[in-house]
Amino acid sequence: MNLNFKKYFQHPALIYIIYIIFIILCSPSGFSWLNKIIFSLCALVPFWIVREKLLNYKKANILPINLSKYNKYFVALLCFALFFFIASKIFLFIKYGIAPLGYDTGFYLRGVSAMGLATTKLNAVNAYYFIFTPLLSLGMEPLIAFYSICIFSQFLTLIALCFLLKTFRSPTSFNLAIIAIFLYAMSSVQFLGYWNVFGQQLLAMPFLLISVALLMRRSVLAIFTAGITFLLHTATAGVLFLGIAIYYIIYFFQLFSKNRYCYKSHFSIVIIGIVLAVPFYILKSITFKGQLDYIIHFGGLLKNVPFWQIPELSGFFIGIQQFNILTLFIIPLALTTLLNPAVWLREKVNKSFFFNSLLINYVFLALLAILALSPVIYQTRFNLMLDLFLIIFATPTILILIEYFIKDKTGRLILLAMIFLFTVNFCLIANKQQPLISKSELQEIKSLASKVESNAKIMTTSSTYTPWLYGFYGREVIAPGRLGDTWELETWKEFWFGDSDKKRLELLKTRPMPLYVYIGEKELDGNPYQNFVNNDPHFENITEHLWKFKQEL
Amino acid sequence: MKKIINGRQLIKIGILILIMNICAFIISFHYSLLRSFNIILGSFFVFWLPGFCLTYIFFSCISSNKSEHEQGKEDQSLNWVERALLAPFLSITLLVFELTVIKTFNIKLGSFSAVLVLLFVNQAVILFALFIYKFNQRNKLN
């Protein structure tokens, strides 16, 4: 680590300039230059406080951390964060009933319900559905089991964050873990991920974090948890393997330098990892090949994807602009830690700590930032993982700020105001999330199975209703562009917006019978196909939103 | 006579039982109380306990005369909090392997045979971990 540029890098003025440049680059693109300057000046405050603190530590040459007398405040913060975390996950169910979460609920519900049928092939293992087996065996209903695992995966992420922060072996690891819990509970990005029910990714992310933590501990178990990440969610596993590969390339590269850092256990991890990669690959070979072919087909870039598939293949999540605004508080704090690695241990970073603990986290932060900014397939989903690493990096800086402010009454009031701000910000965003389907309509969909023939197919005219019908109707569904639909986009356009009802009739006759058409309440009124279904004698109204199509009059 | 359980361990067990009771209470809004306890105990046996035992096989204990900070610099040992945190991950890892093996033998997932295999493997892991723990304790005393 005795590189020449280091002494220039540590020059007080230069590090402030680098920080300001980073802050300006990371500020939302919608900000005017004046706002960017104001934001940078505000962001300078925590950076200055941390630098001052570190300078004092250096002069005193001790570890002046005596947070134990403030432990009661940290315990109170932990209780508040945990209560808030649980409440934020449950209040949606209390407020909106059994389907308050996002689009994918129905797809997952169908998958969980089909688990008992055990149709999975051995080389197309989806570990996500395996996890439901014990719950279903214990007598849980599929929907309750699915929601339980969703909430459980949120807890697992919380636990993984704590474990990762404890792995840094900082003298303040207890306090760091509490702050991480608080930040995670207040993270709007994570809440939106939960609301969108990205089930597999939500469960794979804690496995990514725990694999990183186990690698930091040089444990062979990291290979198994990384393998489970692969079986759970390919994109998360892709990030994990890429990150590990970059880490080991840097690690092996430095072995050729004079002041090398060497730990034999790293070699054994790499060798065992390569050997065990084969059985893990075999377990998911069919699914993985399919996904890989799909990505290769589009060159991995969103610009090559047809426009109607872009929302789906970009990951159906918030874009980088919104992410930037939602993480506005965290970014300066994370950047402060990034540029002041001494905040972790409150002492000079030695080679062992750098290569064991810091480097791998730096690699993942940089990798995820690049992926979130690049127009690659699944781009928006990387935001969810990036947010976790921003939380990890923001934590030690926040602890120093707490140490700085907690000593007097005014400082404590400032801290309370900050907690209040975080909470209000989160509540405003969480409260905006409305269910995608009303209670009455969901009830109607659940009752459809008893109102139609057992071999009937229900065709939804809007993709909004695809997952709800697929999950809650539970039988064969025809949907635009999904579930093996045979119509091209042009055919659908002809059906939705075409002038000829005769053509619509012909198109419907190509579908397998008996056929029902579902037009939900969220579809805008006055479309030609709606008038056709409402007025044509070939349709018989069964329920408020369901029509039976009769081939012959 | 040597105490089997000391005060600290009693507190840890108490916390565990309290958490399980709270979970069972929440679930009891939907299921009967008996079914709720059944689900919570079953989940505890599948999603936490085997992983907790596995940590005793793969990681050593932190000795009480050294601080976590000092010890952590030297080896990869875990204290009880870290074991508790790591436990669900190792349990899920074990569960996925068990179910993969069950699939290899073409046993229907969720069937009675599959549940029996799960029970047997988890119990074997717990007993093996107990054996390793006792063996290590005896070695320490010697």
Min distance B1 CA to chain A CA atoms (Å): 36
Closest CA to B47 of A361, A159, A54: A159
What tokens does A90 get? 């449950």
* Whether residues B59 and B35 fall in one domain: no
Q: Are residues A308 and A292 in the same domain?
A: yes
Structural tokens at position A470: 């697929």
Looking at the structure, do residues B36 and B55 belong to the same domain, yes or no? no
A94 touches chain B (CB under 8 A): no
| pLDDT tens-digit series, residues A205-222 | 999 999 999 999 888 999
- Does residue B97 share a domain with residue B29? no
Residues B73 and B130 reside in one and the same domain: yes
Q: Do B23 and B82 belong together in one domain?
A: no
Q: For residues A328 and A286, what is the distance between their CA atoms, to the nearest angstrom?
A: 41
CA distance B130 to chain A (A): 20
DSSP symbols for A523-546 = SPTT-HHHHHHHH-TTEEE-SSSE
Strands (E), A387-456: none
Interface residues of B toward A, Cβ cutoff 8 Å, are 30-31, 35, 38-39, 42-43, 46-47, 58-59, 68-69, 72-73, 76, 81-82, 85-86, 88-90, 92-93, 95-96, 99-100, 103-104, 108-110, 114-115, 118
Quick one: A539 and A410 in the same domain? no
B94 and B57 part of one domain? yes
Residue A539 main-chain phi, psi, to 5 deg:
-110, 135
Q: How far is CA A438 from the centre of its chain?
A: 26
Q: Do residues A164 and A268 both lie within one domain?
A: yes
Do B31 and B54 reside in the same domain of the chain? Answer: no
Q: Let me know whether A427 and A454 are in one domain.
A: no
Domain span at residue A334? 5-432
Last residue of a domain, one of A432, A454, A475: A432
DSSP three-state, residue A473: helix
Total structural domains within chain B: 2
Contact A546, A468 (CB under 8 A): no
Co-location of A142 and A197 in the same domain:
yes
Distance, in Å, from the CA atom of B124 to the CA atom of B128, rounded to the nearest integer, reads 6
Strand partners, A517: A459, A547
Number of structural domains (chain A) is 2
Give me the residue from A115, A133, A218 closest to B76, CB to CB: A218
Considering the domain architecture, whether residues B16 and B70 belong to the same structural domain is answered as no
- Give me the interface pTM, i.e. the ipTM: 0.89
Q: Based on the fold, state whether residues A220 and A235 are members of the same structural domain.
A: yes
User: Percent of chain B having pLDDT more than 70?
Assistant: 84
Residue with tokens 């229900």: A458
Residues A412, A312 share a domain:
yes
Residue A175's nearest CA partner among B113, B69, B115 is: B69
Q: Structure pTM? A: 0.91
Q: How far is A403 from chain B (nearest CA, A)?
A: 20
Which residue bears the tokens 């929440």? B26
Residue range A287-327, pLDDT digits in tens: 888 888 888 888 888 888 887 778 788 888 888 889 999 99
Q: Is 70 exceeded by the pLDDT of residue B26? A: yes
Query: What is the helix, strand, coil percentage profile of chain A, to 5?
Result: 70, 5, 25
Residue B26: domain span = 1-40
- Report mean pLDDT in 10-residue bins for chain A, 553 residues: 54 84 87 88 91 74 64 91 92 88 89 68 71 87 92 95 90 90 95 93 95 92 93 92 94 81 82 89 83 84 81 85 91 93 82 86 95 90 95 94 88 92 91 88 89 87 89 87 81 85 85 87 80 84 86 74
In angstroms, what separates the C-alpha of A125 from chain B's closest C-alpha? 8
Predicted local confidence at residue B103, as pLDDT:
78
Given the structure tokens 């479309």, which residue do they identify?
A527
Tokens standing for residue A79:
């209780």
Domain endpoint, select from A382, A398, A432? A432
Across the interface, which of B43, B96, B109 has its CB nearest the CB of A228? B96
The verdict on B55 and B85 lying in the same domain is yes
**Domain match, B74 and B126 both:** yes
On chain A, the residues whose CB falls within 8 A of the CB of B73 are 169, 352
Which of A400, A432, A464 marks a domain boundary? A432
Length in residues, chain B: 142
Whats the size of chain A, residue-wise?
A: 553
Place of tokens 């919380």: A158
Phi/psi of residue A42, nearest 5 degrees: -65, -40
Do B103 and A127 make contact, defined as CB atoms within 8 angstroms?
A: no
* Pairing label, strands A546-549, A539-541: antiparallel
pLDDT given at position A64: 55
A453 in the same domain as A387: no
Residue pair A202/A148 in contact (Cβ under 8 Å)? The answer is no
Q: What angle do CA A193, A198, A200 make, to 5 degrees?
A: 130
Instruction: Decide if B69 contacts A169 (C-beta within 8 A).
Output: yes
Tell whether B114 and B57 lie within a shared domain. yes
A176 and A271, same domain (yes or no): yes
Distance in angstroms (rounded) separating the CA atoms of residues A107 and A467: 5
Q: Are residues A396 and A476 in the same domain?
A: no
Q: Domain check: are A419 and A489 in the same one?
A: no
Shared-domain flag, residues B16 and B69 = no
Residues with Cβ within 8 Å of residue A253, at least 6 apart in sequence: none
Burial pattern B99-121, b for ≥16 Cβ within 10 A else e, equals: bbebbeeebebbeeebbebbeeb
Sign of CA dihedral B66, B72, B78, B79: positive
* CA distance readout (Å), A549 to A19, A239, A249, A503, A515: 65, 48, 62, 15, 6
Rounded Cα distance between A492 and A231, Å, is 35
- pLDDT of B1 reads 47
- My answer on whether A220 and A180 are in the same domain is yes
- Given a contact cutoff of 8 angstroms between Cβ atoms, the answer to whether A402 and A415 are in contact is yes
* Top-confidence residue, B67 or A42: A42
Where would I find the H helices in B1-142?
7-27, 33-47, 49-58, 68-74, 80-104, 112-141
